[in-house]
Amino acid sequence: MSTGAVRLYNTMTQRVEPLEPAEPGHVRVYVCGLTTYDHAHAGHARTLVAFDVLVRFLRARNYRVTFVRNVTDVDDKILKRAAERGESPLALSERMSRVNADELRACGCLDPDLEPRVSESVPAIVRLIEQLVAREAAYVAETDKGRDVYFAVRAFPGYGKLSHRNVDDLVSGARVEPGDIKRDPLDFALWKASGDGGFGWDSPWGKGRPGWHIECSAMAAEALTPHFDVHGGGMDLIFPHHENEIAQSEAAWGEPFARLWMHSGFVKIDAEKMSKSLGNFVTIAQILERNDGEALRYFLLGAHYRVPIDFDLEKRPDGRVVFPGVDEAERRVDYLYATRETLAATAAGAKPAIEGDTPAAKTVRSAVDRVLAALDNDLNTSVALSILAELAPAANDVALQVARAKKDAKAVARGQALAAAALEAIDACCRPMGLLQTPAPVFFARTQARRLGLRGMDAADVESKVRDRAAARAAKDFAKADGLRAELTEMGIEIQDVSGGDRTTWRVLV
């Protein structure tokens, strides 16, 4: 596999550009992570799944990737929530950071190579603020709690270059609040005084805590040096967060901050319809009660990462809320795992080989290159999934042909080799998107357990009905057997008679 074909949309230049890492072959990526005070929602999942695909795909394209994702464990929202709960802010954020990490892992996100936290980065943050003050890009202002430090936006001539905004237009929209101690309404806090009794760290300006934006400048530079390749986050971070990161970093170090800026689109929910039942967001935890994390990932990858996604919800007559788009994605993920199982059984250890020019052979031969080409093109996962959706049925056809060719040893051997090649192709197509990363029996066991639970059933109930049906069939009481099948169907159980009807398998539908 070659490198050099990857092209990504750069928010800074507003163009799709070739990825050209500063150090050839090594891509250094920084992504703004979660503020850990509550459950992560579908919008967070979308952003972090998109950047997980970036990392996995670059590795599939033979790049070395250093992936940094921070944890914002000091923030006003955390302080407020902790005060409401009577908990220490760092205890709350530590607890929620573990919950959030599990939520992201459930969506198939790899852990980052480095995961800096604000609470552990205060010395680096203080050093950076000192440097900005020394360069007169920042100034100290007295408050009743002590001394704050603000970034002087007018001192940085490039302000607005990422969000393509003009400083004067920004000023007309900003208001100076009465009693505001900032010199200019656009200036933002680097350090906030907390008073002697408040939460914070000692600093040259007294006790306080960092403002939000400064942390990412300091942590990215510590982890990756002040100049690195890709900076990512959700689209809502472009302004002011990322604009401010650029201003702080470039004012302090004088060299360009990130080379390429990537931003994922929003997840939209019909707020009016949903506000009464669920609020205007759905958490990953709520989705995981009903669906597999891999189904959520597949659903999110169905749209290109920059376009908005509509997250549909449907309220059932019994009051349950379901997610039809994720349900459909879960059926597709089921099908991919089942396809993989079928191929492994068909290939029976054969050496992969693609002979001839049958439609199936052509599909198997071209699939991986087509998927990688789609991902080369600014991570076009929706096209990649559509190629996978051609490959899987073609692969199932190969398995069917092998089963039918029983007596033709040559055809069986050719088919088994093609099945082995199809299996390899499916894996190579799925790997960069983080799909099919679970052993199939584990996936089937966990989805079955969850689906039975949702339907209030246990496996023993189903087994006993399946056995009764088999007994009825053996006794040639077909009316009873059909009645039991109808009952199982009604329960959401799909049964399949295998090995000429001697054995029945069953599965719970999504």
Cβ closer to Zn ion: 245 or 312?
245
Closest contact distance (angstroms) between CB of 404 and Zn ion is 57
What number of chain residues touch Zn ion (CB under 5 A)?
Answer: 2
Q: Determine the interface stretch with Zn ion among 27-35, 317-325, 410-418, 444-452 (rule: CB under 5 A).
A: 27-35
Q: Determine the interface stretch with Zn ion among 4-12, 96-104, 215-223, 403-411 (rule: CB under 5 A).
A: 215-223
Helix (H, G, I), strand (E, B) or coil at 390: helix
Outline where DSSP puts E strands in 283-326.
Answer: 309-310, 314-315, 321-322
Measured CA to CA, the distance from residue 152 to residue 155 in angstroms comes to 5
The single residue listed with the structure tokens 């689109």 is 265
Closest contact distance (angstroms) between CB of 216 and Zn ion is 3
Structure token pair of residue 61: 């394209």
Measured CA to CA, the distance from residue 112 to residue 99 in angstroms comes to 16
Q: Determine the interface stretch with Zn ion among 53-61, 210-218, 350-358, 445-453 (rule: CB under 5 A).
A: 210-218
The single-letter code of the amino acid at 458 is D
Nearest to 219 by CA among 427, 30, 397: 30
Answer for the pair 262, 231: CB distance below 8 angstroms, yes or no. yes
Cβ closer to Zn ion: 47 or 504?
47
Cβ closer to Zn ion: 216 or 287?
216
Answer for the pair 326, 291: CB distance below 8 angstroms, yes or no. yes
Closest contact distance (angstroms) between CB of 242 and Zn ion is 7
Cβ closer to Zn ion: 231 or 332?
231
Among 32, 54, 68, 186, binds Zn ion (CB under 5 A): 32
Measured CA to CA, the distance from residue 328 to residue 302 in angstroms comes to 11
Does 364 bind Zn ion (CB under 5 A)? Our answer is: no
Q: Determine the interface stretch with Zn ion among 158-166, 208-216, 338-346, 483-491 (rule: CB under 5 A).
A: 208-216
Q: Determine the interface stretch with Zn ion among 212-220, 358-366, 392-400, 441-449 (rule: CB under 5 A).
A: 212-220
Q: Determine the interface stretch with Zn ion among 54-62, 114-122, 214-222, 440-448 (rule: CB under 5 A).
A: 214-222
Cβ closer to Zn ion: 216 or 343?
216
Structure token pair of residue 57: 């795909």
Does 216 bind Zn ion (CB under 5 A)? Our answer is: yes
Does 452 bind Zn ion (CB under 5 A)? Our answer is: no
Closest contact distance (angstroms) between CB of 31 and Zn ion is 8
Helix (H, G, I), strand (E, B) or coil at 434: coil
Nearest to 510 by CA among 451, 452, 465: 451
> Taking each helix axis from N to C terminus, what angle separates 89-106 and 76-85, rounded to the nearest 10 degrees?
110
Cβ closer to Zn ion: 133 or 216?
216
Closest contact distance (angstroms) between CB of 190 and Zn ion is 14
Answer for the pair 184, 153: CB distance below 8 angstroms, yes or no. yes
> CB count, 10 Å around CB of 390?
14
Answer for the pair 250, 293: CB distance below 8 angstroms, yes or no. no
> CB count, 10 Å around CB of 260?
22
Closest contact distance (angstroms) between CB of 51 and Zn ion is 12
Cβ closer to Zn ion: 114 or 285?
114
Answer for the pair 9, 16: CB distance below 8 angstroms, yes or no. yes
Q: Determine the interface stretch with Zn ion among 32-40, 163-171, 177-185, 260-268 (rule: CB under 5 A).
A: 32-40
Answer for the pair 52, 110: CB distance below 8 angstroms, yes or no. yes
Closest contact distance (angstroms) between CB of 43 and Zn ion is 15
Closest contact distance (angstroms) between CB of 70 and Zn ion is 7
Answer for the pair 274, 314: CB distance below 8 angstroms, yes or no. no
Q: Determine the interface stretch with Zn ion among 28-36, 73-81, 317-325, 340-348 (rule: CB under 5 A).
A: 28-36
The single-letter code of the amino acid at 59 is R
How would you classify residue 265: left for phi > 0, otherwise alpha for psi between -120 and 50, otherwise beta?
A: beta
Does 34 bind Zn ion (CB under 5 A)? Our answer is: no
Cβ closer to Zn ion: 32 or 488?
32
Binding site for Zn ion (CB under 5 A): 32, 216
